[in-house]
Amino acid sequence: MNEGGDPVTLESPVLLEPETKASPSIRVTTAAASAATPAEGPPVFELKKFSAYYGSFRAIKDMDMVIQPNRITALIGPSGSGKSTVLRWLNRMNDLVPGAHMGGEVLYHGVNLFDKRVDAVEVRRRIGMVFQKPNPFPKSIYDNVAFGPRVAGYKGKMNELVEESLRRAAIWDEVKDKLKSPGTALSGGQQQRLCIARAIAVQPDVILMDEPCSALDPVATLKIEQLMFELKQNYTIVIVTHNMQQAARASDETMFMTMGEDRAGYMVEIGSTSEIFTNPKRQLTEDYVSGRFG
Ligand code: ADP
């Protein structure tokens, strides 16, 4: 624990680049970088005996897991097993829920996310979230993307940042001629990619996605999955999905959760997605991925 003393910063090797500190600028992906296999590095997140509560109800019990950088980790399991709860603790969104509290530890690049000197607003900038229902602000497409950087005091060239963020979210070509139009006038799939551009614009390290495709048609879903694949070169992605085909085709690692008789969710197994879907270690996982329950 880091009680007292100097303020804790969340600096990580990823975020220590000088240009990121002085004047945030989008890191440019080169063809070589895109082709590179993501390196094994220290974990982005490490959960140790993590438990989560809503009042006296224990929603998650003693979870130990790590999330590796530049991977897509899918959280699967029956409804109510606590997938969204885990996600919402990873960027301290659950701080905002009355009565929600946690036990154990969540380390982010080795720093205890819940140390009282850690700034929750900064945590949410570095660890962005995309929700089930696309939720663009009632503003223009441009302002949706520029809003976060403006609030963060971004001093660079805003037009370039907006364009780069929209390009990275694979929506630039569709919106470049109507940047002043309302974000809410786009299709559902476009709105979700706009929300991803909005998340990218504040230079995050991690993007959390809570069932980002559940309100989208199959074509829009495929676009988001292709986009996730591109994004993992630069970001770590954690996605909650009810769609097992999506977890199987779009993620690198899969964590399967279920709940006990006390309704507390717990992790059954985590491993490479191919292993979880074709050769799981636990019978419960096998039963779930083969559709025998859930
Ligand atoms: P999942 O994402 O796997 O469907 P959730 O994380 O949404 O599961 O929910 C896990 C458990 O926590 C459920 O029993 C749910 O009813 C409960 N829960 C979720 N959010 C709240 C909340 N804001 N207040 C009280 N209980 C909640």
CA-closest residue to ligand 1 atom 22: 54
CATH for the stretch 36-120+127-136+205-289:
3.40.50.300
pTM of the model: 0.87
Per-residue confidence (pLDDT) for residue 293, from 0 to 100:
75
Q: Is the pLDDT of residue 3 over 50?
A: no
Q: In the chain, pLDDT over 90 holds for what percent of residues?
A: 82
Per-residue confidence (pLDDT) for residue 227, from 0 to 100:
94
61 within ligand 1 shell (Cβ under 6 A): no
Delimit the domains of the chain by residue range: 36-120+127-136+205-289
Q: In the chain, pLDDT over 70 holds for what percent of residues?
A: 86
Q: Is the pLDDT of residue 211 over 90?
A: yes
In this prediction, residue 14 has a pLDDT band, given cuts at 50, 70 and 90, of very low
Q: What is the mean pLDDT of the chain?
A: 87
Q: Is the pLDDT of residue 17 over 80?
A: no
Q: Is the pLDDT of residue 20 over 70?
A: no
Residue of 50, 51, 53, 54 to mutate, ligand 1, most atoms within 8 A of C-beta: 54
Q: What does the angle CA 35 – CA 38 – CA 44 come to, to the nearest 5 degrees?
A: 150
Contacts of residue 73, Cβ cutoff 8 Å, sequence gap at least 6: 67, 236, 237, 238, 239, 251, 252, 253, 254, 255
In this prediction, residue 260 has a pLDDT band, given cuts at 50, 70 and 90, of very high
- Ligand 1 atom, smallest distance to 75 CA: 3
Q: Which of 120, 59, 117, 112 is nearest to 85 (CA)?
A: 59
Residue of 51, 56, 57 to mutate, ligand 1, most atoms within 8 A of C-beta: 57
Per-residue confidence (pLDDT) for residue 2, from 0 to 100:
44
- Yes or no: say if 235 and 36 are a contact pair by the CB < 8 Å rule: no
